[in-house]
Amino acid sequence: MRLRVEFTTEPFDLDEAPAHAVVAREVVEAADLEAVDVGPFGNTAEGGADQVLTALTTLLRRTLDAGATRVSLQINVVAEGER
């Protein structure tokens, strides 16, 4: 199964990336994921279910430890042939 995850961490800071946002970027860029797109208001990544879920476990633990007060995420199953 292939999954696509979209997530944001809060609180936002428009002047400088907060520590939790930097950590989130580091986690998804280091994970074995594809189609990684990191932006100021949302992030996406795709991969196999095991890779995505493992990355999300790490992401949740590390961003909360780094000061995130809210993590919003959405996970979608990617249909075969869809990208």
User: Measured between alpha carbons, how far is 39 from 51 in angstroms, rounded to an integer?
Assistant: 21
Flag whether the pTM goes above 0.85: yes
pLDDT digits (tens, 9 = 90+) for 11-58: 988 888 899 999 999 999 999 899 999 887 789 999 999 999 999 999
Supply the pLDDT for residue 36: 92
User: Measured between alpha carbons, how far is 70 from 27 in angstroms, rounded to an integer?
Assistant: 17
Confidence of residue 83 (pLDDT cuts 50, 70, 90): low
User: Measured between alpha carbons, how far is 66 from 64 in angstroms, rounded to an integer?
Assistant: 5
The tokens describing 62, both together, are 């590390």
Instruction: Look at residues 78, 70, 54, 61 and name the one whose alpha carbon lies nearest to residue 7.
Output: 70
In Å, what is the CA distance from 6 to each residue of 17, 55, 64, 70, 82? 18, 12, 17, 14, 16
